[in-house]
């Protein structure tokens, strides 16, 4: 009986050692790439302590942004927004909001917005941790915008050539405001601040504060040699 008891004790110790040995090998539940290691070999770790960060191979990416609380009523899941990853391409792309986390951080007065990352322009491949910009509809405003190629400088004075009913060019001094870009994605036009992008990605516009009225026709090509009083032949649209 004593011998049998010792055998049972040894067997129990072996099972215990096997269980402990299993803890020396950590297996991820998916194929991935080790992105960050939080502990060194031989270190003691506590239960629940993070050991490493693994990026899943082939997984889709998600953009996370902190947005000012004033925009919370304007955003909903499934809404289309504009985004750009400057390190990969200056070209913007359309994306959809996957979640609006409505809890506002009392310190920053912002809330978290999650956006699904679609396939990027030019086949660019993102990496976890990259910086991205997300453009959300901030407000609706009525502005008079003029294509920037229609605005010329006479000395330091911005001017435009306005065409009358007889197609005669009249020089008009214009007071410009902010600059904007028009980007069309999936058939929808977006107007955004031109400084939002690191490179030109769409048609540029200048806000007209005074000097032009809505509906007036403005010459946009050949204005380098155009003079006041010249008759212009408009191109067929």
Q: Can you give the residue ranges of every domain in the chain?
A: 2-56, 62-135, 145-218
Is the pLDDT confidence value at 94 over 60? yes
Q: Say if residues 114 and 78 touch (Cβ distance below 8 Å).
A: no
Q: How confident is the model at residue 59 (pLDDT cuts 50, 70, 90)?
A: low
Q: For 65-89, how does the pLDDT look when each residue is reduced to its tens digit (9 = 90+)?
A: 999 998 888 888 998 888 888 888 7
Is the pLDDT confidence value at 23 over 60? yes
Is the pLDDT confidence value at 237 over 70? no
4's enclosing H/E stretch is helix 2-22
Task: Tell me the CATH number for domain 145-218.
Answer: 2.40.420
Cross-strand pairs, 31? none
Give me Rg for the CA atoms of the chain.
Answer: 31
Which phi-psi region, left, alpha or beta, contains residue 38 (left: φ > 0; alpha: ψ -120 to 50)? alpha
Q: For 134-186, how does the pLDDT look when each residue is reduced to its tens digit (9 = 90+)?
A: 888 766 778 899 988 888 888 889 999 999 888 888 899 999 988 887 777 66
Question: For residues 207 and 97, what is the distance between their CA atoms, to the nearest angstrom?
Answer: 30
- Residue 148 is predicted with a pLDDT of 86
- Residue 97 is predicted with a pLDDT of 92
Which has the closest alpha carbon to 89: 58, 128, 133, 137? 133
Q: How confident is the model at residue 1 (pLDDT cuts 50, 70, 90)?
A: low
Which has the closest alpha carbon to 93: 184, 220, 219? 184
Q: If you average pLDDT over residues 59-63, what whole number do you get?
A: 81
Q: How confident is the model at residue 107 (pLDDT cuts 50, 70, 90)?
A: very high
Q: If you average pLDDT over residues 203-232, what whole number do you get?
A: 86
Is the pLDDT confidence value at 111 over 90? yes
Q: If you average pLDDT over residues 206-231, what whole number do you get?
A: 87
Is the pLDDT confidence value at 20 over 70? yes
Contacts of 124 (CB under 8 A, 6+ apart): 85, 88, 89
How does the average pLDDT of the chain come out, rounded?
A: 83
Q: Say if residues 131 and 85 touch (Cβ distance below 8 Å).
A: yes
Q: In whole angstroms, how far apart are CA 169 and each of 19, 132, 142, 147, 225?
A: 89, 45, 27, 17, 12
Q: Choose which CATH entry (3.20.20.10, 2.40.30.170, 2.40.10.230, 3.40.50.150) describes domain 62-135.
A: 2.40.30.170
- Strands (E) in 93-156, as ranges, are 93-105, 110-116, 133-135, 145-147, 152-154
Residues in the chain: 237
Q: If you average pLDDT over residues 111-119, what whole number do you get?
A: 90
Is the pLDDT confidence value at 198 over 60? no
Is the pLDDT confidence value at 199 over 60? no
């Amino acid at each position: 009986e004593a011998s049998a008891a010792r055998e049972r004790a040894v067997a129990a110790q072996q099972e215990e050692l096997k269980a402990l040995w299993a803890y020396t090998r950590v297996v991820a539940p998916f194929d991935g790439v080790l992105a960050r290691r939080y502990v060194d070999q031989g270190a003691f770790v506590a239960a629940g302590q993070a050991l490493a960060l693994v990026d899943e191979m082939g997984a889709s990416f998600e953009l996370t942004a902190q947005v000012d609380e004033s925009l919370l009523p304007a955003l909903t899941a499934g809404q289309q927004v504009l985004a750009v990853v400057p390190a990969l391409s200056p070209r913007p792309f359309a994306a959809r909001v996957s979640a609006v986390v409505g809890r506002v951080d009392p310190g920053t007065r912002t809330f978290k917005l999650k956006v699904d990352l679609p396939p990027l322009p030019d086949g660019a491949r993102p990496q976890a941790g990259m910086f991205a910009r997300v453009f959300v509809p901030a407000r609706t405003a009525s502005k008079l915008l003029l294509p920037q190629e229609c605005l010329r400088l006479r000395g330091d004075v911005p001017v435009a050539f306005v065409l009358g009913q007889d197609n005669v060019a009249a020089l008009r001094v214009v007071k410009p405001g902010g600059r904007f870009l028009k980007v069309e994605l999936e058939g929808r036009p977006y107007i955004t601040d031109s400084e939002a992008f690191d490179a030109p990605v769409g048609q540029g516009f200048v806000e007209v504060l005074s000097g032009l009225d809505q509906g007036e026709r403005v010459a946009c090509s050949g204005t380098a040699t155009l003079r006041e009083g010249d008759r212009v032949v408009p191109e067929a649209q």
